[in-house]
Amino acid sequence: MNKIIQINANRPEPELIRRACELLNAGELVVVPTETVYGIACDPAHLEKLYAAKERDRGKPVARLAASFEQVEALDAKFGRHGRALAEKYWPGPLTLVLDTPGGLTGFRVPAHEVPLALARAFGRPIALTSANKSGGADAVTAQEAFQTLQTSVTLFLDSGECTGKKPSTVVQCLDDGIKILREGAIPAAEILSR
């Protein structure tokens, strides 16, 4: 089977989403498009495989891709008033919110792209997702770029064409007393801080 499969960006084919879900449930890695850059996804229970594929420091956390605000809330993530306001304004979109959960601080993102949203809905809970590249390498804005560096460790690459955003999401930690910009990305830090 070809590792790179074309998928419709606006109406993802259900059989391809099912196939990707089966692979995630089996502990495999899948590369998916988002509106910013391509990401490498896995079941959060199989993070070790993702760390190995990316040659990533095990101490560096991996965010979660969610289908909705409700999917994040179901994990007992604490938005607080700051996180809730940011989620209402920017989700779906290129914003990762780092929230307090029973398992510690965790980043969550609801992307503005039908393919990852369909995948998270079908998976039934948030999926571990980080940029589809080797740690420290350039972000992949096409499936082919992701394939060039990850082909030996990823089972399936869902290709919906070039990502339009080309910048990773902005990462914001939501604290009880305010917010902290951890990484400026597609949404300018000044815009977040001035809301």
| pLDDT value of residue 6 | 97
| pLDDT value of residue 175 | 83
| pLDDT value of residue 7 | 97
- Whether pTM > 0.85 for this model: the answer is yes
**Along the chain (195 residues), what's the average pLDDT of each consecutive run of 10 residues?**
90 97 97 96 96 92 96 94 94 96 95 97 96 93 96 96 90 90 94 85
Distances 141 to 88, 103, 160, 179, 186 between C-alpha atoms, Å:
27, 31, 10, 29, 14
| pLDDT value of residue 59 | 86
Domains annotated for the chain, with CATH where assigned, are 4-76+101-163 (3.90.870.10)
| pLDDT value of residue 81 | 86
| pLDDT value of residue 176 | 80
